[in-house]
Structure 1
């Protein structure tokens, strides 16, 4: 699997680098961002550590993180990652996604998911992509379910003592007239401008 910059209509997913830490901290100042995540970033040093940790995991081949750049606003607006990459099994996760509140209820999240899933299924030929979130994050769960992802169950005290919900999209779910790809493309519209996704934050 080759991880590269991904260009969308509104967003660009840029491979994460240490130099992104300051811009990411500036867009992460709202406490609401961290309500449903297992960490809370409260200062620049914590963001630098957070970014560096993601880069180290990337160098090990265990994940690949992106900084999300919004062309409309002309600045970075969040982060996302491929996680738990299993090349032999053609499986991976999408997670650790967060956005500044300035782009909640916009096309940003929809297009990010579309770009990440397209690359996973169509470039790398993945057969399974998982999405995992805390059980308290009901808004994000509803958004994922509307795309056609299948809820598989609850992982109790999986990370940092929190319970997580597991969703999956397999290759058969991605393709077809009623598949996840078609649903995302309908939301994005032919010009790449999405309808509201119901406020999915990550």
Structure 2
């Protein structure tokens, strides 16, 4: 079966619900980490200082989604019912059965919790088992050790580094560390991640 285009979707776990991102999530997202320098440090955009700044970032993302470049999804903390971050399907290439999970952030209160693991289980299950992807990649700044460790804990394999890959908002250059999971690796990785939840 050929890979199919990801579309806005709702996916539900025990701790989080993932749903299509929209501007009605703005207030929750700004409260969760919209103006937190540490949350935005590695995201390739300046830290939004006001709800209007964050709305502009969201509007750009939603505009790109309208062109099929991204599928942005809000991450909802089920216990509180509030949006605590977002994630996207991006770099989608159906002929090669691949996509990327990226432009992900969560409010600092949810770091090192079940949120990231369960979010990734839901997204990876959808990508491999429902969309028919053969490869899912994740990437991060080479200086973002916390993110690299989180990706490695998911079971993704570190593939390499693209040097001087992107300019950061402060004008310095980022090297980008790439990781991936393949469809044939997913059943074992899923079992291990599910046991952690």
Shared fold, TM over 0.5: yes
Q: CA deviation at 1:2?
A: 4.3
Candidates 142, 146, 149, aligned match of 1:142: 149
- For the pair 1:38 / 2:44, whether they are aligned, the reply is yes
**What is the aligned length?**
185
Candidates 23, 33, 57, aligned match of 2:64: 57
- For the pair 1:186 / 2:195, whether they are aligned, the reply is yes
Q: Is the 8 A contact 2:117 2:154 kept in 1?
A: no
How does 1:55-94 map onto structure 2 within 5 Å? 55-94=62-101
Identify the range of structure 1 (59-68 vs 138-147) with the bigger mean alpha-carbon deviation: 138-147
- For the pair 1:110 / 2:117, whether they are aligned, the reply is yes
Q: Is the 8 A contact 1:38 1:162 kept in 2?
A: no
What is the DSSP-based 3-state SS (H/G/I as helix, E as strand, rest coil) of the residue aligned with 1:122? helix
Q: CA deviation at 1:130?
A: 0.3
**1:168 aligned partner:** 180
TM-score normalised by the chain length of structure 2:
0.89
**1:191 aligned partner:** none
Output the CA distance in 2 between the equivalents of 1:125 and 1:15.
20
Unpaired runs of 5+ residues, structure 1, are 189-202
TM-score normalised by the chain length of structure 1:
0.86
Output the CA distance in 2 between the equivalents of 1:58 and 1:170.
25
Q: What CA RMSD, in Å, does the superposition of the two structures yield over aligned residues?
A: 1.3
What is the DSSP-based 3-state SS (H/G/I as helix, E as strand, rest coil) of the residue aligned with 2:95? coil
Unpaired runs of 5+ residues, structure 2, are 168-172
Output the CA distance in 1 between the equivalents of 2:77 and 2:192.
22
What is the DSSP-based 3-state SS (H/G/I as helix, E as strand, rest coil) of the residue aligned with 2:14? coil
Q: Give the structure with the larger helix fraction.
A: 2
